[in-house]
Structure 1
Amino acid sequence: MQTNDLAEKMLKEFGPLMGGEDLRRALGYRTSAALARAARMGAVGVAVFDIPNRRGKFALTVDVAAWLTSLRNRKV
């Protein structure tokens, strides 16, 4: 699956912004606390950010799709 195909599917399901449980699952973290800890350490694979007056971390859906595709295409 190409980045654009995955991004299109994810945009239809999640919209332009991912957060909460959707973001946690997409990034592969077992718990919200694990994602929060990784974000504090700067160890999340995509740019995550805060939104004023909203709880949790957020990421752009297209960034998450691109990151997932890059992992799949990475040579081991």
Structure 2
Amino acid sequence: MTSNQTDVLMPDPTQNGCAAAPAQQRIESFLMSRYGPVMDSPVLAEVLRFKTVAALEKSMERGHVPIRCMDTPHRRGKYFLTADVAAYLVAQFAESPTEPQSSEPPATVGHLAGKEHAKTPKH
């Protein structure tokens, strides 16, 4: 993660959740400097960490990503205002519940593979 991304994504813990407007401004400023005022579907898929544009479109059809899109005459594809994307990101962060910390370390792929291997007898 670059220092710019750290500055944008890390909320200020002294704000106690009241930093929605400044956070949105920082995120919007970062996205504007990187992508400009309008994003297309491939860029939005990248920003929202979808693996493919088709996955983004399917999620939008289901109503899981309620970001306004605009169809531009004589242009293919859908376009999104960067300000709307920033507002969506801040809203999602504010709505997401914080997960309690577990005392057990998370299972790793190697750890799980070792258990499965021990259960399966060799022939």
TM-score under structure 1 length normalisation: 0.80
| Paired letter, 1:27 | L
From 43, 47, 55, give the equivalent of 1:22. Answer: 43
**Aligned 1:53-72 pairs, distance under 5 A:** 53-72=74-93
Choose 1 or 2 for highest CA Rg: 2
- Aligned equivalents of 1:39 and 1:73: distance in 2? 20
SS of the equivalent of 2:43 reads helix
Q: Could you tell me how far 1:42 is from its partner in structure 2?
A: 4.5
Question: How many aligned residue pairs are there?
Answer: 76
- Aligned equivalents of 1:52 and 1:9: distance in 2? 28
Cα RMSD of the aligned pairs, angstroms, is: 1.8
SS of the equivalent of 2:66 reads coil
Identity %: 32
CA contact (8 A) 2:67 2:84 kept: yes
- Aligned equivalents of 2:60 and 2:93: distance in 1? 22
Q: For residues 7-65 of structure 1, what are the alpha-carbon distances to aligned partners after superposition, in whole Å with 9 as ceiling and x for unaligned?
A: 01111111110003211112332211222334445543211121112121111001001
